[in-house]
Amino acid sequence: MQSGKRNTSVRLNANDLRRVEGIADRLEVSESELIRFCIKNTLNRMSPLDDPSYVGADLVPILLDIGEDMTRYFELNSRQLKKIVNGVVAESSGAVADSDVDLFALAVWNENSVLHQLNEIANELHQEVDTATGFLRNYLYDKYVLVDRHCDGN
């Protein structure tokens, strides 16, 4: 009878290993317990990516939550982000506009270069851009998440 668990190997650099050891010591837990917690916590945050029914605008909250970290860590480009977020969903079916995914990717890799485009959007919306990432978060949230809630409430 299998327990549903198996051992796996993870490579950690010396700095990460020292951090795991230090945090585990402070929490008075084993290193393996801390690593399992980190994995479970990250998987829970990423759970919409494990559900094929989540596409397009459904994934904007996760994009805003951990998309920047994922984009940097996995070195994702705009094309890859579009595939992750929209998959095969048609734009009329709740897809995130390609231009918005492009803005997000550009803001992750070069915040200064996206400021001009965000200022144009802000002018159309009669708003100001304090920071590129802050404005972009609010813009995408308002456009894709709040719109869905207002539509559901009617």
Chunked into runs of 10 residues, the chain (154 residues) has average pLDDT values of: 79 96 98 96 95 92 93 94 86 83 88 76 74 83 76 50
Same domain assignment for residues 79 and 127: yes
User: What is the model's pLDDT at position 129?
Assistant: 67
Burial class for 20, CB neighbours closer than 10 Å (0-12, 13-18, 19+): middle
User: For the chain, how are helix, strand and coil distributed in percent, rounded to 5?
Assistant: 70, 0, 30
- The range of the structural domain enclosing residue 127 comes to 52-153
Whether the model clears a pTM of 0.85, i.e. scores above it, the answer is no
Same domain assignment for residues 70 and 146: yes
The answer to whether residue 71 sits within a structural domain is yes
Contact (Cβ atoms closer than 8 angstroms) between residue 85 and residue 102: no
The answer to whether residue 1 sits within a structural domain is no
Number of domains in the chain: 2
The answer to whether residue 6 sits within a structural domain is no
User: What is the model's pLDDT at position 109?
Assistant: 83
Same domain assignment for residues 88 and 135: yes
Same domain assignment for residues 82 and 126: yes
Same domain assignment for residues 79 and 22: no
Distance, C-alpha 91 to centroid of its chain: 20
Same domain assignment for residues 19 and 37: yes
